[in-house]
Amino acid sequence: MSLTLVQARQILDTALATAREKGYQPMGIAVLDASGNLKAFVSEDGASMFRFDIARAKAWGAVGMGVSSRTLSERAKGNPNFFVSLAATAEGKFLPQTGAVVIRDAQGQLLGAVGASGGTGDEDELICLAGVAAAGLQAG
């Protein structure tokens, strides 16, 4: 199974609705497939130009390592040299900061990741989790 555009759009729509319900700042949200390719992206009116790069880099790191960006952020504290080297090797596409989760199917197969940028890391992560759940998928 692979991540469909319908699922990616459901993730985006719900993540945006959740951000608006909670009164968060304008968001940028990126959904990537299991190979790290962009499946869908949305940028709200008023979001800064950095939102895309940050959201994608959070999601890219998550899908590449198979864990949430929160987990990557925690791991980076204990091994900063590795994560700095990884970010350099990834040509800026890797950002181990809270705000992205991996997307899995019911069997646990990795389908991709979603990352957000605009709020705090916790806010970004919360809207990603809401989007994945609404699409009937599992987040990690």
Pick the CATH number of 5-139 from 3.30.450.150, 3.10.20.30, 3.90.25.10, 3.20.20.70: 3.30.450.150
pTM: 0.94
- pLDDT over threshold 90, residue 2: yes
- Band of pLDDT at residue 1, cut at 50, 70 and 90: confident
- pLDDT over threshold 90, residue 56: yes
What does the DSSP 8-state code read for residue 106?
Answer: T
The H-or-E segment that residue 41 falls in is strand 38-43
